[in-house]
Amino acid sequence: MNREIKLYNEVSIYCSELITKKYSTSFSLGITTLHKSIHKHIYSIYGFVRFADEIVDTFHELDKEKVLNKFEEDTFESIKNNFSTNPVLHSFQIVVNNFNIDHKHIRAFLESMRMDLTKKTFSNTEYKNYIYGSAEVVGLMCLKVFCNNEEIYKKLEPYAVSLGSAFQKINFLRDIKSDYKERGRVYFPNVNFETFRNEEKVDIENDIEKDFNKALLGIKKLPSNARKGVYLSYNYYRELLKKIKLLDVNELKSERIRVSNFKKFIIFLSTHIKSL
């Protein structure tokens, strides 16, 4: 690899790193606990999914469907050519090509983003498909990097799916107010925001607990390069769920739950101290 190409790769990856740190302090903190050798690959995945999400949720004055279609076209063009003038797509294609990330996961992710353009309510099937595309496949992309071994990847795949599912369902609960008030969406099937009941909330929380219990088994089996980082994310979302459980449904519908920076620091320390 000549010097100019190496420099362009480094600059592109740095752009994805910057995006990650600007958009998500929690995710950035989790990455720091991964082995340094895989930081850049996870930054590159996050940069890609972050920008796709911004297309559908932020730029309201644009023709979002047209922009997303172009983004998808450019994504696969960059993967095919091993190059893009878009640094986020360029850094992403490096990871996709180096780790043989399945293109069906990328398509599933973009299809979930496309659902956000039109869907306001979700059937059970649509809910499961959306979670698969928006969260579970992102976890599988990261798992490819963590393992870099097809046999280990296959063994850990169902656990990664459960963890991604738990994270996304917690996001849905945490953001239920903004999703409804700002975008008119309710992701949970058969749930009406105006009449959302504590019994429905408890059912969702119990479903998340099942995902978490299964996911923890897989975290313990992860390669050492990723175990602490994923466990940190697990503990962070566990704390979110703990706070959500303490709230009445009407409180949940009126405020967005956050974990304080001090609590994040405590979780960070305890994760490092505790062995799996």
Give the number of domains in the chain: 1
| pLDDT tens sequence across 7-33 | 999 999 999 999 999 999 888 888 999
pLDDT, residue 105, reads: 98
pLDDT, residue 275, reads: 64
Query: Which CATH number belongs to the domain containing residue 250 in this structure?
Result: 1.10.600.10
Low-confidence ranges of the chain (pLDDT < 50): none
pLDDT, residue 265, reads: 78
Under 8 Å between Cβ of 40 and 94: no
Give me the numbers of helices (H) and strands (E) for the chain, helices first please: 14, 0
Residues with Cβ within 8 Å of residue 203, at least 6 apart in sequence: none
Tokens of 263: 């609590």
Give the C-alpha separation, 218 to 139, whole Å.
12
The parent domain of residue 258 ranges over 3-273
Burial class (CB in 10 A: 0-12, 13-18, 19+), 208: buried
Residues with Cβ within 8 Å of residue 178, at least 6 apart in sequence: 256
Query: The pTM is what?
Result: 0.95
